């Protein structure tokens, strides 16, 4: 570090510029990860908010939220299995609708038994259950469409009139669509019943209430999932896998990773290019120090120590600024953003690692510098 | 004898481009002796320094430093011998730009794998004092004159207590007065520290300080002899 530290202070302008570039790359990496994860999270935030360990879909090679349909026998079958701590049906149907203020909205109607373990309650107003047409809406409808307690939302085609009895603070979405929580019977009628509901004085056949989309489960560690799946014709997925079953989630997550990959390659190339030029500029000096008897190993170690120090300081600054900005975004705006400390540390570590690889490729040149260049006439 | 060059030849280039830079050169420089090798440009002066310092392996012949055959060593072993037993003094520009005069000397300890301890700092301070630059210890090369830089180079070469000093055109970038000053200092340190100093130069005016002189031309080295001058070094050395 003897030479490394003195070079850093001697050529501080150049190194400060380089550090600023690394800070920006690390900052971009953190912000982009936060923003993209925020967007991705808006796809599955409703699923993530479920207090479940697993979700059982109708058996399929690639089960999805839009195609799955489970029967009463399945959710009652799951409830009877050993190791199952909680089990209840959950219905999911997408609707176009119109608010009482006349605004068209798209919503995901989720049907569940009021008071069951997946019922989110309400942050403002009443939870579902007391009023058979009462629903609880999640934040996006409140923030973007000014839906309030007491409003009505009319579903297109089926003309079911939902009464907003409660609001949630959380952005609970599925496939980027805000979730409206409804009593299971209301959901079943809207999803499978005739438009406008049953004729007056009549009720709908019981079979209407025997279907849902998934079975929400809380399973113990010893539950024999595969055996139960086989018996009930379901496929139970843990939470991360059930995210994948949401439309577009995998593509979005992959695009985030591609972005991160590109940033990483850019960081590696920039730092590699900087240290290549730096090493070329120092060729004469490195030749001299070699002529004085320094080994290539000594000079490479010194150069890599210099890079490591520069990267450590710059990446820490970048990640720190990214954390602070993310905090401001989450607290002060409605922009989708996720502060994930692990993801930030991984981003930082990747930029550090990428930079070190780039620098290592650059400083290999040191080995090829011939100390003979220190002697003027043989240069 | 400290530096022995025994029938060393050096052929550079390939095929039609081959040049015999050194042709069966033999030379012995004893401890406390300043040997000047004179010759025009392209005569083989720098080649001689390069093979003596192990920067180039000779095509044939042997180089011995304190009796140790350098030509039998691998590249990393030659580098080690160079940092432990050989001091190099290059032309004016060969200081490390980022380092102060003091750090130029301490670098030698680092290269040797030793963190400079108190005794290394004391030695560096003493060497800087001997070359008259104690007050410049905290200055970087761009803040010093050509003569001062060359004196730092001399102090640096002596830092690891070498047995051989190899000196490349020490006066080529200096005016006459500063050149005399530097070579005078070199002669004094050679004697004081008992090193074998091999200096290549084309500057006749520096011969009064040499104990022996040899001419080189087209790779042939003549027999060393006493410098052919009257009266020895000038009084102002």
- Is residue B136 a part of any domain in this protein? no
Instruction: Dig out the tokens for A182 from the structure.
Output: 């409804």
Q: Phi/psi at B37 (nearest 5 deg)?
A: -110, 120
pLDDT confidence band for B5 (50 / 70 / 90): very high
Q: Which helix (H) or strand (E) holds B3?
A: strand B3-12
Q: Find the mean pLDDT for residues B48-67.
A: 92
d(CA B121, CA B119): 5
Least Cα separation, residue A266 to chain B (angstroms): 30
Mutation site, B78, B96, B160, interface A, largest A CB count within 10 A:
B96
Do both A366 and A261 map to the same domain?
yes
Q: How many Cβ pairs closer than 8 A exist between chain A and B? A: 85
Instruction: Pick B169's closest partner by Cβ from A2, A292, A376.
Output: A376
In a domain, B100, yes or no: no
Q: Are residues A200 and A291 both part of a single domain?
A: no
In the block, tokens 């989309």 appear at A213
Asked whether residue A183 falls in the same domain as residue A209, the answer is: yes
Let me know if residue B143 belongs to a domain.
no
Cα separations in angstroms, B232 against B23, B196, B223, B235: 31, 20, 20, 9
- Specify the CATH number for the domain of residue B188: 3.40.50.300
Q: Indicate the helix (H) or strand (E) that contains B5.
A: strand B3-12
Residues A209 and A313 in one domain: no
Residue A79 shares a structural domain with residue A34: no
Domain region containing B79: 3-95+162-221
From B36's Cα to the closest Cα of chain A, the distance in A is 17
- The answer to whether position B137 is within a domain reads no
For B34, the token pair is: 């300043």
For chain A (379 residues), the mean pLDDT of every run of 10, in chain order, is 90 92 91 87 90 94 91 94 93 95 94 96 94 93 90 93 94 92 95 84 87 95 90 92 83 84 84 84 88 89 92 95 93 86 88 87 86 71
Q: Are residues A191 and A276 in the same domain?
A: no
- The verdict on A77 and A201 lying in the same domain is yes
Same domain, A162 and A228: yes
Would residue B135 count as lying in a domain? no
- Chain B interface residues (partner A, CB cutoff 8 A): 41-42, 45-47, 49-50, 53, 55-56, 76, 79-80, 82-84, 86, 88, 90-91, 94, 96-99, 103, 106-108, 110-113, 140, 156, 168-169, 172
Same domain, A185 and A37: no
- Chain B's closest residue to A298, CA to CA, is B111
Which structure tokens are listed for A127?
Answer: 């939870």
Instruction: Single out the residue of A236, A243, A104 nearest to residue A173, CA to CA.
Output: A243
Please name which of A164, A153, A72 lies closest in space to residue A113, comparing C-alpha atoms: A72
Is B233 within a domain? no
Q: Which residues contact A226 (CB under 8 A, 6 or more apart)?
A: none
Would A239 be classed as within a structural domain?
A: no
Interface probe, candidates B13, B79, B99, B100, chain A, greatest A C-beta count within 10 A: B79
Is A244 contained in some domain? no
Q: With contacts defined as CB-CB under 8 Å, which chain A residues touch B88? A: 291-292, 374
Give pLDDT tens digits for A331-374.
Answer: 888 888 888 888 889 888 988 988 888 888 888 888 888 888 88
Q: Are residues A360 and A328 in the same domain?
A: yes
Contact partners, residue B90, CB within 8 Å, separation at least 6: A288, A291, A374, A375, A376, B153, B168
- Look at residues A202, A232, A262 and tell me which one is the last residue of a structural domain: A232
> B11: which strand partners?
B20
Q: Are B141 and B95 in contact (CB under 8 A)?
A: yes
Smallest CA-to-CA distance from A141 within A117, A176, A112, A111 is with A176
In a domain, B40, yes or no: yes
DSSP state of B96: -
Look up the ipTM and state it: 0.87
Distance separating alpha carbons of residues A217 and A210, to the nearest angstrom = 18
Summarised one tens digit per residue, pLDDT across range B24-36 is 999 999 999 999 9
Asked whether the beta carbons of residue A6 and residue B90 sit closer than 8 angstroms, the reply is no
> Of A205, A232, A259, which residue is a domain's last?
A232
Do A218 and A69 have their domain in common? yes
Domain count, chain B: 1
Is A126 part of any domain?
yes
Provide the number of structural domains found in chain A. Answer: 2
Q: Where are the alpha helices (DSSP H) in chain A?
A: 2-10, 12-48, 72-79, 139-145, 184-192, 225-232, 239-244, 249-281, 283-291, 296-332, 341-363, 365-368
pLDDT given for residue A379 in this prediction? 44
| Domain end among A201, A232, A263 | A232
Residues of B in contact with A13 (CB under 8 A): none
Domain around A262: 2-44+250-378
Q: Which residues of B touch A11 (CB under 8 A)?
A: 98
């Amino acid at each position: 570090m003897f030479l490394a530290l003195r070079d850093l202070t001697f050529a501080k302008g150049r190194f400060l510029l380089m550090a600023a570039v690394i800070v920006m790359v690390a900052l971009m990496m953190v912000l982009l990860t936060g923003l993209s994860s925020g967007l991705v999270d808006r796809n599955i935030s409703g699923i993530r908010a479920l207090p479940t360990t697993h979700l059982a879909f109708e058996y399929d090679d690639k089960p999805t939220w839009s195609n799955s349909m489970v029967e009463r026998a399945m959710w009652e079958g799951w409830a009877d299995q050993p190791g199952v701590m909680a089990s209840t049906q959950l219905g999911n149907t997408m609707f176009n609708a119109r608010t009482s203020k006349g605004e068209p909205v798209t919503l995901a109607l989720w049907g569940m038994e009021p008071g069951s373990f997946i019922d989110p309650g309400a942050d403002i107003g009443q939870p579902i259950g007391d009023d058979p047409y009462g629903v609880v809406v999640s934040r996006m409808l409140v923030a973007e469409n000014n839906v309030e307690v007491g409003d009505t939302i009319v579903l297109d085609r089926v003309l079911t009139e939902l009464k907003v009895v409660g609001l949630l603070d959380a952005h609970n979405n599925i496939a980027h669509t805000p979730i409206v929580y409804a009593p299971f019977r209301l959901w079943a009628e809207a999803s499978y019943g005739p438009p406008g509901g049953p004729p007056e004085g009549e009720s709908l056949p019981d079979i209407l209430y025997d279907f849902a989309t998934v079975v929400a489960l809380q399973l113990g560690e010893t539950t024999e999932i595969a055996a139960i799946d086989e018996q009930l014709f379901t496929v139970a997925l843990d939470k991360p896998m059930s995210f994948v079953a949401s439309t577009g989630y995998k593509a979005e997550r992959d695009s985030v990773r591609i972005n991160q990959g590109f940033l990483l390659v850019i960081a590696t190339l920039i730092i590699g290019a900087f240290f290549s030029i730096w090493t070329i500029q120092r060729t004469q000096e490195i030749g001299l120090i070699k002529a004085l008897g320094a080994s290539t190993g000594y000079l490479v170690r010194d150069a890599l120590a210099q890079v490591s120090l520069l990267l450590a300081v710059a990446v820490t600054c970048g990640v720190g600024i990214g954390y602070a900005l993310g905090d401001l975004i989450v607290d002060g705006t409605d922009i989708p953003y996720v502060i994930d400390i692990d993801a930030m540390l991984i981003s930082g570590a990747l930029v550090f690692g990428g930079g070190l690889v780039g620098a290592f490729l650059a400083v290999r040149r040191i080995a090829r510098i011939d100390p003979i260049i220190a002697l003027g006439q043989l240069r | 004898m400290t530096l022995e060059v025994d029938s060393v030849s050096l052929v550079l280039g390939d095929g039609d481009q081959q040049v015999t830079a050194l042709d069966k050169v033999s030379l012995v420089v004893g401890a406390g002796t300043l040997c000047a090798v004179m010759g025009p440009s392209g005569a083989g002066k720098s080649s001689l320094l390069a093979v003596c310092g192990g920067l180039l392996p000779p095509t044939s012949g042997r180089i011995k430093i304190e009796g140790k055959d350098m030509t039998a060593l691998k590249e990393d072993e030659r580098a080690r011998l160079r940092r432990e037993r050989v001091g190099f003094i290059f032309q004016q520009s060969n200081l490390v730009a980022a380092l102060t005069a003091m750090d130029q000397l301490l670098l030698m300890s680092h290269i040797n794998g030793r963190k400079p301890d108190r005794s290394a700092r004391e030695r560096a301070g003493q060497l800087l004092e001997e070359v008259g630059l104690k007050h410049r210890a905290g200055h970087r090369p761009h803040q010093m004159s050509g003569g001062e830089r060359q004196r730092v180079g001399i102090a640096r070469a002596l830092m690891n207590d070498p047995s051989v000093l190899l000196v490349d055109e020490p006066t080529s970038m200096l005016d006459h007065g500063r050149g005399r000053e530097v070579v005078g200092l070199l002669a004094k340190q050679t004697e004081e520290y008992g090193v074998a100093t091999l200096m290549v130069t084309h500057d006749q005016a520096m011969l009064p300080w040499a104990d022996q002189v040899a001419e080189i031309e087209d790779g042939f080295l003549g027999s060393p002899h006493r410098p052919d001058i009257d009266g020895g070094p000038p009084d102002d050395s």
